[in-house]
Structure 1
Amino acid sequence: MTDSAVAGGVDAFAALSEPVRAALSERGFTTPTEPQRRAIPRLVDGSNGLVVAPTGTGKTETAMLPVFSALADDPPEGMGALYVTPLRALNRDMRQRLEWWGETLDLDVQVRHGDTTDYQRQKQADDPPDVLVTTPETLQAMLTGSKLRAALADLSHLVIDEVHELAASKRGAQLTVALERLRELAGSYQRIGLSATVGEPEEVGKFLTGARGCEIVEIDAGSAVDFEVVSPEVTAADERLAGELATDADIASHVRLIRDVVAAHESTLIFVNTRQTAEALGSRF
């Protein structure tokens, strides 16, 4: 499908299966983001694809909604989909993000990495999940186990998050070997890459699929972004809030501003300097 066809008003969500559309409605998602609008119609037919877009534009759902749609319509016997991330911390984040969809669509979503217990590993080998979130290194280790190899023979979709981080690295070279070993096990399967903005997306696409062809959907959000710099003034309400939070009024004024911004928007991404600060803010909202 061409960009002009997608831009011409095709409803990306309409291409998804009925259970996924119902879940979207339950979740309150009525309008696709730009990456979703342009990429989902291409991915839902099983095409390989690379989605290049800034953070916060819904790339994860862009890849996984078509995957969930396919698996909900035709549940796998083994592992139907792998979601590969470069970091274990991302594994945990992705599991939390995807579990709701799995529960709603009656699909088992699990995570496997270096910290996964032996008990859980054995359970996954005996009763493989429908969707497994893992790392490149753990994926390679999985390919040595007979039960897991049998489970992976049913693979139909593979998503690589932050694929640009891997494309030009030794880890990436090792991952490409694992992808080809998967192809020997499962035959042809859909490959989807998610990337931040990069200078040469075609090279990342070649890393992802080799010579098999790759639809590249590149989103340039620069011209659509408005910037506003705000420095809040301390108010009497901030003084009272500072007492409640056991902090100073200047910090309280910033917390108040963040609260107002969050309340005024459907989604908000907040950047802070430390994990401790992020957790503290998260507990307040």
Structure 2
Amino acid sequence: MQEAFTLLSPPLKGLLQETGISAPTPPQAEAIPFIVQGENVLVIAPTGSGKTEAALLPLMDKMVQDQNRQGISLLYITPLRALNRDLLKRLQIWSAKLGFTVEVRHGDTPAADRRRMAGRPPDLLITTPETLQAILPGRRMRQHLLHVKAVVVDEVHELAGDRRGVQLTVGLERLREARPEGFQRVGLSATVGNPEEISRFLGGSEPVRIIQIPLSKDTRYKIEYPPPGEEDQELARRLYTAPEAAARLALVADLVEAHDSTLIFVNSRVNAEMLGSKFNMMDKKIMVHHGSLPKEERVRAEEAFKARQVKGLVCTSTLELGIDIGSVDLVVQYMSPRQVNSLVQRVGRSGHTLTRTSQGVLVSANNHSPRCARCLGTSGRRPIDGL
């Protein structure tokens, strides 16, 4: 066992060995000692580096060692309900072995489950910023939340600076006022250019230690601007679109066909539906995923992609974060991603482990390759092909 893991209790160390985890990843090695000491910590590390476990291993360990725990001991906040589902599946394995309870509470939670939680709260509650605000005023749930020892905010960079982030800040401050002894805060973030700003958002008036793990993973980008050929003229007539658009769609379809699993990111739900419709007209097995779809349809798309029943998913930012959809070979950004950081995050979904190369293709409507290359160059990422 490496040094960070030696700080954990025998039951947790035994479970790590049982699951084949013998050494901590860099974020775990850096963060676990400070979290064990009770510090507020912001962990900034690339996708697939074990950030979630860096936070949860020491916090779960503290929780299960507390034989007198009451109410909700640990609060885990994520920006997306789909992330909640994934995390619940992972934690149920740990909870069964370590003897604690875990549940999810969000807007889709049935009334019967909400009533049950109010009467018998879980040790660990996974929720969203909106639901935290909704349950704080409730007499029984508020009483349970007074026992919270630690709060984890996952994908904290997605919340900082927007309306939902304000909601979360207000919710955490209300929780702090209700619990004068305070609680430990741990934030998990993708690589960002403003770590101090994110840490202030997480900690409020409290100090936060920033642990930043440099990106050592190889990432490759390719920028494509496909001019329409003769075959695209016929495809354009069939799809009722312009030849330039047909050329882009044909290129994306070829990329999907050439890889086992491809995510195609667009910037709006309207564009996701439009692309999905065009691919359907082309008889391509490509599904659509965005936040306005019913939960059942989103889950069906995620599971079909994970089971390799479809090779491609057209998606919005709903799949930009760490939802478990299995391995991704390629990420396609259809048209501008608007922000370089967003493109970096999306391409990071491919080759999800640190040992695999992340590959991304930016399909552009204009020949802006040199400008795109300069933007990507400033983000510190490596090779850019197709210029």
Select 2:191's aligned residue among 197, 201, 210.
197
TM-score by length of 2: 0.58
User: How far did residue 252 of structure 1 move?
Assistant: 9.0
Deviations along 1:113-154, one digit per CA (max 9) or x if unpaired, are: 000011100110100000000000000111011111111111
Letter in 1 for 2:263: V
8 Å CA contact retained: 2:84, 2:104 = yes
The secondary structure found in structure 1 opposite 2:152 is strand
User: 1:208 maps to what in 2?
Assistant: 202
Structure with the bigger RCO (C-alpha within 8 Å, sep 6+) is 1
Please report the RMSD computed on the Cα atoms of aligned residues, expressed in angstroms: 2.3
Which segment is superposed worse, 271-280 or 99-108?
271-280
User: 1:150 maps to what in 2?
Assistant: 143
Deviations along 1:6-34, one digit per CA (max 9) or x if unpaired, are: xxx96111111222111111111001111
User: How far did residue 211 of structure 1 move?
Assistant: 2.4
Distance in structure 1 (CA, Å) of the matches to 2:16 and 2:71:
26
Distance in structure 2 (CA, Å) of the matches to 1:271 and 1:105:
37
Deviations along 1:248-273, one digit per CA (max 9) or x if unpaired, are: xx989855xxxxxxxxxxxxxx7534
Q: Is 1:29 matched with 2:53?
A: no
User: 1:88 maps to what in 2?
Assistant: 81
Select 1:283's aligned residue among 282, 290, 307.
307
User: 1:220 maps to what in 2?
Assistant: 214
Letter in 1 for 2:168: L
Distance in structure 2 (CA, Å) of the matches to 1:118 and 1:280:
29
Q: How does 1:177-192 map to 2 (within 5 A)?
A: 177-186=170-179, 187-192=181-186
TM-score by length of 1: 0.78
User: 2:263 maps to what in 1?
Assistant: 272
Distance in structure 2 (CA, Å) of the matches to 1:170 and 1:207:
13
User: 1:233 maps to what in 2?
Assistant: none
Distance in structure 1 (CA, Å) of the matches to 2:4 and 2:137:
39
Q: Normalized per residue, which structure has more strand? A: 2
8 Å CA contact retained: 1:83, 1:161 = yes
Distance of aligned partners of 1:71 and 1:280 in 2 relative to their CA distance in 1, 3 Å threshold = same
Q: How does 1:69-88 map to 2 (within 5 A)?
A: 69-75=61-67, 76-88=69-81
User: How far did residue 161 of structure 1 move?
Assistant: 0.5
8 Å CA contact retained: 1:272, 1:278 = no
Distance of aligned partners of 1:227 and 1:206 in 2 relative to their CA distance in 1, 3 Å threshold = closer
Distance of aligned partners of 1:228 and 1:180 in 2 relative to their CA distance in 1, 3 Å threshold = closer
Percent of aligned pairs with the same amino acid: 48
Distance in structure 2 (CA, Å) of the matches to 1:271 and 1:14:
40
Q: How does 1:94-243 map to 2 (within 5 A)?
A: 94-186=87-179, 187-221=181-215, 224-226=216-218
8 Å CA contact retained: 2:256, 2:262 = no
Select 2:48's aligned residue among 51, 56, 63.
56
Deviations along 1:59-101, one digit per CA (max 9) or x if unpaired, are: 1101100110100100421100010001111111111121111
Distance in structure 2 (CA, Å) of the matches to 1:38 and 1:101:
22
Which segment is superposed worse, 120-129 or 272-281?
272-281
Deviations along 1:42-67, one digit per CA (max 9) or x if unpaired, are: 11111100000111001110110011
Deviations along 1:227-252, one digit per CA (max 9) or x if unpaired, are: 689xxxxxxxxxxxxxxxxxxxx989
Gapped regions of structure 2 (runs ≥ 5):
222-254, 265-286, 290-299, 309-325, 327-387
8 Å CA contact retained: 1:43, 1:63 = yes
8 Å CA contact retained: 1:19, 1:72 = no
Distance of aligned partners of 1:46 and 1:228 in 2 relative to their CA distance in 1, 3 Å threshold = same
Distance in structure 2 (CA, Å) of the matches to 1:22 and 1:102:
14
The secondary structure found in structure 1 opposite 2:92 is helix
Q: Normalized per residue, which structure has more helix? A: 1
Q: How does 1:3-42 map to 2 (within 5 A)?
A: 11-42=3-34
The secondary structure found in structure 1 opposite 2:263 is coil
8 Å CA contact retained: 2:2, 2:23 = no
